[in-house]
Amino acid sequence: MKKSEALNITGIFNSLDTEGLSELSDILSNKKGKDFSLIFTNPKTGAFITGNISKFENNIISFSPDCPELLSPLVESAQIPQATFKNKKSIKYIQVKILSKTIDNKKLELQVI
Sequence-ordered list of residues with C-beta below 8 angstroms from that of 51, at least 6 positions apart, any chain: 37, 38, 63, 64, 65, 66
Q: What is the pLDDT of residues 27-86, one digit of tens each?
A: 555 544 357 889 999 988 999 999 988 888 888 999 999 999 998 888 899 999 989 988
Q: Under a CB-based contact definition with an 8 Å cutoff, are residues 67 and 104 in contact?
A: no
The answer to whether residue 22 scores a pLDDT higher than 90 is: no
d(CA 111, CA 91) in angstroms, rounded, equals: 18
The answer to whether residue 12 scores a pLDDT higher than 80 is: no
Between 1 and 2, name the one with better pLDDT: 2
3-112 belongs to which CATH class?
mainly beta
The answer to whether residue 97 scores a pLDDT higher than 50 is: yes
